[in-house]
Amino acid sequence: MRRADRLLQIIQIFRRRGGIVTAGQLAADLEVSVRTIYRDMVALMASGVPITGEASVGYILDKSYDLPPLMLTVEEVEALVLGTKLVGAFSQDDPQMLLAAGDALAKIEAVLSPERKQQMGQINLITGLPEMVGLGPIALGSLRRTIRNGFKANISYEDGKGAISERIIWPMGIGYFGLVRMLIAWCELRNDIRVFRLDRIKTFEELQSRAPHTRQKLYRDYLEQEKSKGMRAMT
């Protein structure tokens, strides 16, 4: 790998990991020596990249730092194209997400170099159209807005045995697991996080009361807990 490419990869690792990153972690990710990383960090700092830290402690990149999207590699463009196609395949009943995916890809293409644009048009990656399980009465665009705004919701839910219960929940996230969409939420009835199949939610009413600020911590704790059980998911 050329040094210039490696320096860009270092910045990407900072973005991906967040927080303090050690020279050892960078060296392992890039398969180079720690001594090489030390030299690279000096070069980045000297060029004006806002990195602070020490060799024996770790480094951190200022969150305000950004790179122009023209720096995308061909593999990154391929990942974006494939990701957009997958979003489209799993969003046939979610017109807002379907439109947003197409718009985002068009914006990315507009700022690519002529070489990358040509390569983008030659990416032969195909996705199928899965037969997704229905959503019930919920519109995914409205549900995402409820989650963003932090509102509670009143739902009636049918379990696997056909029993229906009324619940006040704090919607936290939407899971795309196979062909079924799931709503991850804190359930006031169970006093715990529960996962609800969207096709089993019979009624959904957004409430004007907001969930406590702790919901984000609860959500992060839930993800860590599930990962410890072996959950394989992109988060």
Same domain, yes or no: 184 and 224:
yes
C-alpha radius of gyration, the chain, whole number: 22
User: Could you tell me if residue 112 is inside a domain?
Assistant: yes
User: Could you tell me if residue 215 is inside a domain?
Assistant: yes
CB atoms within 10 A of CB 188: 13
User: Could you tell me if residue 125 is inside a domain?
Assistant: no
Among 69-73, 156-160, 218-222, which range has the highest average pLDDT? 156-160
User: Could you tell me if residue 135 is inside a domain?
Assistant: no
CATH code of 47's domain: 1.10.10.10
Cα(153)–Cα(12) distance, integer angstroms: 38
User: What are 62's two structure tokens?
Assistant: 């200022």
Same domain, yes or no: 191 and 158:
yes
Same domain, yes or no: 85 and 43:
no
User: Could you tell me if residue 7 is inside a domain?
Assistant: yes
Same domain, yes or no: 203 and 172:
yes
- Name the domain count of the chain: 3
CA 8 from centroid of its chain's CA atoms: 21
Answer whether 0.75 is exceeded by the pTM. Answer: no
Mean pLDDT of 132-158: 92
User: Could you tell me if residue 156 is inside a domain?
Assistant: yes
Same domain, yes or no: 87 and 111:
yes
Q: Which domain holds residue 171?
A: 140-228
Model pLDDT for residues 9-58, shown as the tens digit of each residue: 898 888 888 889 999 999 998 989 999 999 999 999 988 889 998 777 89
* pLDDT bucket at 147, cuts 50 / 70 / 90: very high
| Average pLDDT along the chain | 88
* pLDDT bucket at 68, cuts 50 / 70 / 90: low
Residue 184: per-residue pLDDT: 95
